[in-house]
Amino acid sequence: MDRRFLDIAAGAVSTPAERPSRAEVEAAVRTLIAATGDDPAREGLRDTPARVARAYGEWFSGYGQDPARLLERVFGEAAGYDDTILLRAIPVVSTCEHHLAPIQGLAHVAYRPRDRVVGISKLSRLVDAYARRLQLQERLTNQIAQALDGALNPRGVGVVIEATHGCMSTRGVRQHGVSLVTKCWLGEFRTDRGLRDELMDSLRSARRGAAD
């Protein structure tokens, strides 16, 4: 069965039957500009709809990627390595699906291999593929962990995301410097508190080292 169909059925992806044309997108942006009380025809805003349409192509490029394919190439040449593999501080650039406000932060992805490993750049690409969609941070955290678990069948997976949300800092309570932390533990990370503590200690040590 097509992976994209499975993603849609699981609620991971929801797309309209037909995407709007570039002209329709630009017209919608002009409407939003007018809604602010400004004039979309004035010189400084005249090219903004086209710029926003191009920017959306980057911000939401994750819809054009199949995260499972990013993890298809694996290696069984880890020479028996079975300890935790951790890639820290992967940049997260996403968009809150409730207010279309930015989500920015860092993802930390760890797994304990059974007999296969994946190239480290693929971990970063996996995060980006899911992040560059309309998202909830909680769902994003789970999607990354479940994809890695399904592709590698490791002994355990741990994903931690720390991010700030524009919908909280620029509207509503307007609180700055507040970050949301979400975690997903699978396999040995779920059953072994010592492994979880070790991973979180590693992240705290890295933050302290960066602050020194």
Q: pLDDT of 113-148, one tens digit each?
A: 998 899 999 999 999 999 999 999 999 999 999 999
Instruction: Name the catalytic one among 26, 96, 162, 184.
Output: 96
Any idea how long the chain is? Answer: 212
Q: Tell me if residue 167 is catalytic.
A: yes
Average pLDDT over residues 6-28: 68
Q: What is the pLDDT of residue 19?
A: 83
Q: Tell me if residue 98 is catalytic.
A: yes
Q: Give the pLDDT confidence of 41-88 residue by residue, as tens digits.
A: 999 999 999 999 999 999 999 999 999 999 998 888 776 888 999 999
Q: Tell me if residue 165 is catalytic.
A: yes
Q: Tell me if residue 96 is catalytic.
A: yes
Residue 4 pLDDT exceeds 60: no
Q: What is the pLDDT of residue 17?
A: 57
Q: Tell me if residue 143 is catalytic.
A: no
Assigned CATH topology for domain 3-59: GTP Cyclohydrolase I; Chain A, domain 1 (1.10.286)
Beta-carbon neighbour count of residue 21 at 10 Å? Answer: 10
Burial of 121 per CB tally in 10 Å (0-12, 13-18, 19+) = exposed
Residue 104 pLDDT exceeds 50: yes
Q: What is the pLDDT of residue 13?
A: 52
Q: How far is CA 164 from CA 23, 111, 149, 178, in A?
A: 33, 25, 26, 6
Do 109 and 148 contact (CB within 8 A), yes or no?
yes
Specify the pTM: 0.86
Do 105 and 92 contact (CB within 8 A), yes or no?
yes
Instruction: Name the catalytic one among 26, 108, 165, 184.
Output: 165
Residue 154 pLDDT exceeds 60: yes
Q: How do 134-135 and 85-96 pair as beta strands?
A: parallel
Tell me which of 3-7, 12-16, 39-43, 44-48 is least confident. Answer: 3-7
Average pLDDT over residues 100-106: 95
Instruction: Name the catalytic one among 65, 97, 146, 198.
Output: 97
Domain ranges across the chain: 3-59, 75-211
Q: Tell me if residue 176 is catalytic.
A: no
Residue 155 pLDDT exceeds 90: yes
Q: How do 74-75 and 117-118 pair as beta strands?
A: antiparallel
Instruction: Name the catalytic one among 72, 98, 138, 175.
Output: 98
Among the CATH numbers 3.30.1490.100, 3.30.1130.10, 3.40.50.150, 3.40.50.800, which is that of 75-211? 3.30.1130.10
Instruction: Name the catalytic one among 65, 104, 146, 167.
Output: 167
Tell me which of 98-107, 133-142, 166-175, 196-205 is least confident. Answer: 166-175
For residue 118, the SS3 value is strand
Residue 38 pLDDT exceeds 80: yes
Q: What is the pLDDT of residue 14?
A: 52
- How many Å apart are CA 46 and CA 48, to the nearest integer? 6
Q: Give the pLDDT confidence of 161-190 residue by residue, as tens digits.
A: 999 998 877 767 766 778 899 999 999 999
Q: Tell me if residue 184 is catalytic.
A: no
Q: What is the pLDDT of residue 33?
A: 97
For 31, residues 6+ apart whose C-beta sits below 8 A from its C-beta are: none
Instruction: Name the catalytic one among 65, 99, 146, 198.
Output: 99
Average pLDDT over residues 152-166: 95
Instruction: Name the catalytic one among 26, 108, 137, 162.
Output: 137
